Chain A
Amino acid sequence: MNVVSLEGLKAHYINELYGAIKTTRAVDNVSLDIRPNEILGIAGESGCGKTTLLKILSSTIKPPLKIVQGKAAFHFDGKEIEFGDEAKLDEHRWRTIAYIPQGSMHVLNPVRKIRHTFHDFLEHHVDIDRKELDRRITDYLQQLGLSAKVLNSYPHELSGGMKQRVIIGLATYLRPKLILCDEPTTALDVMVQRNIVQLLRRIQKEQGNTIVLVSHDLALHANITDRIAIMYAGKLVEIASTKQIFDRPLHPYTRLLINSLPSLDGTNELTGLSGQPPVLSDPPPGCRLHPRCPYVETRCRTEEPPLRTFGDRTAACFRISDGGECEY
């Protein structure tokens, strides 16, 4: 049973200014199944809607963001919980669904000790006295490579990498089924990034969680994910296993993304994508990539390519044959 299923999900930012309504279609008609025990990567340029998708998954939707259409549900222990069912979701928040935000500086309350932050997040879920809880948290943090002193520190006394470890500890202490990560390694240096990635992978192996990882960093995806969903301008354009994405990308956008990465021997010619991603309040008609796509043909400009299945993978492009071969 899939952990999360999204069907034709549309979530828009609806702003009203002097009576004129501006709609930004950040997530537009997205269908996606998230399987148990997998690490699913969501990749794409800035502003493609990947963070919005994660906000929806973590049920932290605030106006002006609104789910306009579509069906979305979690499946935990054989029960289905629809998105927006706040009462039921609150029960699962943090115990079943945890969220690791960007590795930025401001995720932990600056005037609260780490110990109290832990208590705030765990108090509804554990029923043991504070002393015992503190002991267990210390043990757990030590497993993640943090000293016992951390518990009595304020966030500003910790380095960026330590803070991210604390956040990972906070998110995984209850062994949640689903962990949502939003760019967990941005703002950290490469060595720390590597440690954090290894830590996440180790935890996933031990606890068997499902992880959804949003990042624009394809190297990170190659390192850790099992499957990748590529987003462009609010739409999913390709979903396939990580190996398939890197070995044989089907969608032109995926191919261009991969070609923009240097190889280890440095012999490949780097190509990029010209132009800017479209403004999501006024996306182009037809395939949203067509103004930038080097392989564009007439119907791309007017017709929208549907997401088609080719064996165990899907992609949305007219220029892929029914047999799953690129025709460009």
Chain B
Amino acid sequence: MKQFLLIYLAPRLVQYVVVIFIGVTVAFFAPRFSPVDPVESMMAKVEGLGMTMDPESVARMKESLKDLYGLGGSLPEQYLAFWKRAVTLDFGPSLTSFPTPVSALVKRSLPWTLGLLATALGISWLLGSFLGGVAGYFESRKWSKFLEAGAMMMYPIPYFISAIAMQILLAYVFPIFPVGGAYPFGTLPEFSLGFVLSILQHAILPGLSLVLIGMGWWFLSMKAMISRVVAEDYVTFAQAGGVSSRKILFSYAMRNAILPQVTSLFMAIGSVFSGAIITEVVFNYPGLGLLLRKAIATGDYSVIMGVIVMSIVAIASAVLILDLIYPLIDPRIRRK
């Protein structure tokens, strides 16, 4: 156990910290190298509204804006302040929804995104991997070719087109599902059966669009993987040995082909935390993606930084967890 901690866990924790450090540092410097100055553009916006201000109040406003954006002081000072914000998860107030703090905005959006995206990801991963595995194993069957053709047709369609097409078809032409939103417009979230059902009803359409497109990818990658595994010696050997084909399919072929799928799943889980911008914009779903898009459109610097830092931490954590559980699913890792 001690050896495990030292040899396995310690290097991975160090790597985890280093990845987050580099990620946050890049997130700090990248916008500062860009020619867009958030303070100036904010000022331009204010002036564009037709307000006239005396130079003194302009200077004061610039000063307080700089403070809000974390742009006051020298670069090293800003950098340290940025880390302080990142560690305490306090990115100051949002600028467009002033004075709501960024953390409150994220807290409001995160559950919607997680609920929708994580569920859709789970369903599409399970279904896509299972169908891809079975279809890859029975490659010569008609239904397998049919499924593959379906996945191949679905996969290359740009997502925003299929999402809008589904919306038009299932919300407008056949109004089965609501057009958008996470719950009926004008109601307040409450904990009742009726409200939970209406949340589900609102989530089905965006969820379905995500599942269909995600499944195509998981299906194709699992199928490609399994057709390689089926040619492995251990599968041929088990077939010659009369091992039942169900066992060969699940314990031999799928069990080995699933390993890279698990890796991809964890990467995808990490990116759930940055939201699905297109889905949330098309279906007007109040998640992180919508929040991020609004923040980009309005130049809400603090919100952008908050979401970016959170997704850096989320992806790095997902990879760390993957690293820690991988020995459980692949015994070959345990010895190294």
Contact = CB atoms under 8 A, between A and B. Distances in A.
B233 A121 contact: no
Contacts of A154: 331-332
Given A109-B252, A111-B256, A156-B332, A121 B241 contact: yes
A29 interface: no
Contacts of A167: 237
Interface residues on A, range: 20 to 34
Contacts of A106: 232-234
Given A60-B239, A120-B238, A101 B233 contact: yes
Nearest to B243: A120
B230 to A, nearest CB: 9
Nearest to A125: B242
B240 interface: yes
B256 A121 contact: no
A94 B332 contact: no
B236 interface: yes
A65 to B, nearest CB: 12
Contacts of A90: 242
A22 interface: no
Contacts of B294: none
Interface string A108-146: 111110001000110110000000000000000000000
Q: Which secondary structure dominates chain A's binding surface?
A: loop
Interface in B115-142: 140
Given A60-B236, A101-B233, A101-B236, A111 B330 contact: yes
A120 B255 CA distance: 14
B234 A99 contact: no
Contacts of B232: 106
B335 interface: yes
Q: Of A58, A60, A111, A121, which is in contact with the most chain B CB atoms at under 10 Å from its CB?
A: A111
Nearest to A102: B233
B251 interface: yes
B331 A93 contact: no
B242 A93 contact: yes
A107 B233 contact: yes
Contacts of A101: 233, 236-237, 240
Query: Interface centre among B234, B241, B242, B251, by most A CB within 10 Å?
Result: B242
Contacts of B140: 63
B244 A124 contact: yes
A157 B329 CA distance: 16
A93 B256 contact: no
Interface string B298-332: 00000000000000000000000000000001111
A157 B234 CA distance: 16
Contact of A93 (B241, B329, B332): B241
B247 interface: yes
A23 interface: no
Interface of B: 140, 232-234, 236-244, 247, 251-252, 255-256, 329-332, 335
